[in-house]
Structure 1
Amino acid sequence: MLVVDPVTRRSEFDRLKDVAKAASLSKFKQRLALLADIEAIGPTRGWLEGVPPGKVGHFAGEAHVTDVADMRKVGTDKQLTLPASFVHTAATGVRDDVVTMFCKRIAAIHKKGREHLEALRAAHRAESERLLVVFGDVLSVVPEAMTPATAPTGDGGTVAPDAVAPVVVAAPTVQDVAERAGRLVLKTLEQSGGVDTLASAHEAVSGFEQQPIGQWR
């Protein structure tokens, strides 16, 4: 722990003093790696068994303000006690950091999920309203298709509603109504984007609405 790396010019003892940074994924992984390295040093709880927690905290604080050069100048007992106390305390602190960073990462994921869900809801709400308008337009053409047609006059025109001559109304057959309704419905659907486009929009909205509520939480 007290050996200084010639490349980084840092020792493992100095690395244990690094503080937690922003809860980004890379920093979180670095903190996890540091915790694994600390736990691999040894069973510090067993080493310090019987030592009062206050003493351990005091030794850890002393080690924290002591650099590697000064640590080499102290006696052998302190060279063991101070780092052991510091490692034990550092492990607790790093575990707390890992939990805190994990909670922050999950909270950030949940926030993005809620924002994405609200955006989806808004988009599908608008699409649902558009489909309802199209459905209303389709329904409105059905009465028009069922309206009896005015019989033609002798000159090929139609008799005006306010004409003196009686208006001859031809009762439409079921086939006539069906054919006329079909033409009007298809025309309405084409004006609203076409059958394929409307079918895709309906499928997307229906699939969204049928999702279990718990899946979006």
Structure 2
Amino acid sequence: MAAASKNNLADLINIALEKLVEANLEIPRFSTLDAMTSTARGQVNEEILAGIRDRMTEEERRRVLGLPDVIELDRKTLFNALKQNPGRATWSHFKRLKGHLEWVDGLGDTGKWLEQVASTKVVDFADEAEAQDAATLKEYTDDKRMALTACLAAKARMRARDDLATMLCKRMAAKAKKAREELAEIHRQQQKIVEALIGNYRTLLQQVDKEGPAQSARARAVALTKEALDALEGLGEELSAAEVTGRLDGRVSPAFLLLAEGLMVQSNGLDSLLSAVDKLGGFEAQYAQIEKVSTHHGDNWEVLLPSVP
């Protein structure tokens, strides 16, 4: 039946007219249609009101019926508090919103009360209740007062939950924005470190490149090492210091052998470094990669601008 989901009398009359036309029946006078739809709506609403009442406990009925009673010195009622919005959905109103929702929840389980009641009916009943004040609401029957107040409580609960959800979403969005800004700052700091490391790596490559000072030192070390080894040819660690001195006519210390070996180790160490660079693509490839990264050093975006002909 349409009256179970619609409460506006004009809507019900229009539906009745459509049904009469579809069935090829004679359309009665408007006053007759008005009376019929009004009676049907009243019967359906009475069933809805009774169902809401029966799904309430005795304590819940007492609590709901007592909302229009004056309890404050300023002559305000809890029914008035139920109609009012506790405040904007801002963090400063969090406690007020939370307290309001807890109070509305404390009235009872509106979801249970309004089981099997069409959402359109709930909206219409809530709007009717919201249009009343405490005095006019008391003129209704107890069943209607309870039903209208139950629908208004459901609306107030939904509004409070929506406001809290909106507030929390805004709060989380602000936190997320701050976190992104902090992460961006970390990236900027890390970029500075990366750029410094790249600069250091460039300097290191320049030191060990074929024209760098390390290569010159290496060549000199190789020559000196060869000269030392030639001079020490035939000598070994098993010889005593006296024998070494005798073989070299007292020109060098026995420690010279260790020095020569150290120079050879140093030369071999540089060779291993050069080998590592070669495995990475060689000096030219490394310089090309460094240049590619360094192009945008310090967030340099000007190089991305198209050239003007």
> What TM-score, normalized to structure 1?
0.55
Aligned to 2:189: 123
**Contact preservation (8 Å) 1:2, 1:13:** yes
Q: Find the partner of 1:55 among 110, 116, 121.
A: 121
Aligned-residue Cα RMSD (Å) equals: 3.6
Q: Find the partner of 2:93 among 24, 27, 43.
A: 27
**Contact preservation (8 Å) 1:39, 1:91:** yes
Give the 5 Å matches for 1:64-83.
64-83=130-149
Amino acid at match of 1:105: R
Say whether residues 1:12 and 2:84 are aligned partners. no
Identical columns (%): 34
Structure number with the higher helix fraction is 2
Alpha-carbon spacing, 1:148–1:88, altered in 2? closer, same or farther (3 Å): closer
SS at match of 2:188: helix
Q: How far apart, CA to CA, are the structure 2 residues paired with 1:129 and 1:9? A: 71
Say whether residues 1:87 and 2:156 are aligned partners. no
When Rg is computed on C-alpha atoms for both structures, the one with the higher figure is 2
SS at match of 2:79: helix
Q: How far apart, CA to CA, are the structure 1 residues paired with 2:141 and 2:133? A: 15
Q: Deviations over 1:2-40 (max 9, x none)?
A: 344536764332333343755433434543332222222
Residues matched between the structures, number: 159
**Contact preservation (8 Å) 2:68, 2:79:** yes
**Contact preservation (8 Å) 2:86, 2:96:** no
Q: Deviations over 1:120-149 (max 9, x none)?
A: 112211221022212323443453245359
> What TM-score, normalized to structure 2?
0.41
Aligned to 1:147: 216
Amino acid at match of 1:135: Y
Q: How far apart, CA to CA, are the structure 1 residues paired with 2:183 and 2:82? A: 41
Aligned to 1:135: 201
Structure 2: tracts of 5 or more residues without a match: 1-66, 226-261, 267-309
Amino acid at match of 2:213: E
Aligned to 2:164: 98
Q: How far apart, CA to CA, are the structure 2 residues paired with 1:134 and 1:9? A: 78
Q: How far apart, CA to CA, are the structure 2 residues paired with 1:145 and 1:172? A: 15
- 1:61 is displaced (CA, Å) by 0.5
Q: Deviations over 1:158-192 (max 9, x none)?
A: xxxxxxxxxxx8856666x97xxxxxxxxxxxxxx
**Contact preservation (8 Å) 1:146, 1:172:** no
Amino acid at match of 1:62: E
Q: Find the partner of 2:179 among 101, 109, 113.
A: 113
Q: How far apart, CA to CA, are the structure 2 residues paired with 1:144 and 1:23? A: 69
**Contact preservation (8 Å) 1:56, 1:85:** yes
Alpha-carbon spacing, 1:81–1:148, altered in 2? closer, same or farther (3 Å): closer
Alpha-carbon spacing, 1:5–1:172, altered in 2? closer, same or farther (3 Å): farther
SS at match of 1:2: coil
**Contact preservation (8 Å) 2:87, 2:97:** no
**Contact preservation (8 Å) 2:101, 2:157:** yes
